Amino acid sequence: MATEERTKEILRELHHAVTNFEEEDAVKWAKIALEEGVDPFVATMDGLADGMIEAGEKYNRKEYFVPELLMCADALYAGLNLLKPAIEASGRKSEVKGSIVLGVVEGDVHDIGKNLVKLMFEVAGWTVYDLGKDVPLDKFVEEMIKTDSQVVGISALMTTSMLSMPEVVKRLREKNPKVRIMLGGAPLTPEVAEKYGADGYAKTAGTAVDEAIRLLKMLKEEEAKK
Ligand code: B12
C-alpha cells in the first residue's frame, strides 16, 4: 500500500503524463499505481482526468492547441486502459440498478467525461446504452423508447452545444413523462440543469451513479403514492 506521500507522487506523474502527452509514461505510472495499491478510480480522476483539466488551462492560455489536446487525450486513454479493469474489479456495485441512455449532445465531440461516467455506471452494474458523441437530439428519444430506460444522461462541454439540452429534455418528457433526466459536463451547474428542466445533475463521474440512484428512488416513491 503506497504511503500518502507516494500516492501523491504517483498522481502527480499520471497528471504530468497527460499534460505532456507521454503515453508511455501514462502506462508506466498506471502500472505503478496498480502495483502499489493506489485506488484505480482515484488514479483516474485525480491523476489522469486532472491532467486533462490542466491541458484545458494551457489551451486557454494559447500554450496548447487542438493537436496537443488530442495527444493529451491519447495519453489519458492509454493510462485508463490499464486502470479500467481494476476499477471494474473493485466491486463498487450499487444496490439499486437500472438502465441509462448516455450521450453527448449534437455538435459536441467532447466524450472523455461521458466515457468516465459510463465506466462508473458499468462498474455499478447498470446497463448502459451509450450513444457516443455528437448525438442528434431525437436519437436520445428513440433510444430511451427502444431500450425502455428509466434514466437518460446527457453531456455537454460547450456553452454553445449545451443550448440544445432543454429541447432534448422537452422531447424526452413528451414521449415518457416518467423518465428521469440528468445533465452533466463542465459548463453545467445544478441551477442550469434545473432551469433546463432536468431532474438531476452531477459534477463528476464519481457522484453520477448516486445521483441516478436518488432519481430512481424518487420515481419509485412517486409511483408507490399513486
Ligand atoms: C479535451 C478537449 C478537447 C478534445 C476532446 C477529445 C475528446 N475525445 O473528448 C478535442 C481536441 C477534440 C477538442 C475539440 C474542440 N474543443 Co475542446 N476541450 C477539451 C478540454 C481541454 C478538456 C475536456 C475534458 O476532457 N475534460 C476532462 C473530463 C474528465 O472532464 P469533463 O468532460 O468535464 O467531465 C466530467 C464532468 O463534467 C462530468 N460529466 C461529463 N459529462 C457528464 C454527463 C452526465 C450525465 C453527468 C452526470 C456528468 C458528466 O463527469 C466527468 C468526469 O468527472 C476542454 C477544457 C475544459 N476545461 O473543459 C476544452 C473545451 C471544452 N473545448 C473547447 C473548444 C472551443 C473546442 C473546439 C471548438 C476547438 C476548435 N477550435 O476546434 C473543438 C470542438 C469540437 C466540437 N464540435 O465539439 C472549449 C469550449 C468553449 C465553449 N464554447 O464553451 C473548451 C472549454 C476550452 C476553452 N476554454 O475554450 N477539445
Residue 91 clears pLDDT 90, i.e. is over it: no
Q: How confident is the model at residue 223 (pLDDT cuts 50, 70, 90)?
A: confident
pLDDT value at residue 1: 77
Domains: count for the chain = 2
Q: At 187, which CATH number?
A: 3.40.50.280
Residue 96 clears pLDDT 90, i.e. is over it: no
Range of the domain at 75: 4-89
Between the CA of 195 and the centroid of ligand 1 the distance, in Å, is 22
Q: Is the CB of 156 inside a 6 Å radius of any atom of ligand 1?
A: no
Give the pLDDT confidence of 24-78 residue by residue, as tens digits.
Answer: 999 999 999 999 999 999 999 999 999 999 999 999 999 999 999 999 999 999 9
Q: Specify the residue for cell string 457516443.
A: 132
Give the pLDDT confidence of 203-220 residue by residue, as tens digits.
Answer: 999 899 999 999 999 998
Report the mean per-residue pLDDT for the chain.
95
CA-nearest residue for atom 70, ligand 1, is 66
Sign of the C-alpha dihedral computed for residues 54, 190, 210 and 198 taken in this order: negative
Residue 94 lies in a domain: no
116 and 64 in a single domain? The answer is no
Residue 92 clears pLDDT 70, i.e. is over it: no
Q: How confident is the model at residue 100 (pLDDT cuts 50, 70, 90)?
A: very high
Last residue of a domain, one of 71, 89, 107: 89
Residue 130 lies in a domain: yes
pTM metric for this prediction: 0.95
Residue 18 near residue 70 (C-beta atoms within 8 A)? no
14 and 36 in a single domain? The answer is yes
Our mutation pick for probing the ligand 1 site, out of 157, 164, 181, 182, counting the most ligand atoms within 8 A of Cβ, is 157
Residue 93 clears pLDDT 80, i.e. is over it: no
- Using CB atoms within 10 A of its CB, is residue 27 exposed (0-12), middle (13-18) or buried (19+)? middle
Q: Is the CB of 153 inside a 6 Å radius of any atom of ligand 1?
A: yes
140 and 218 in a single domain? The answer is yes
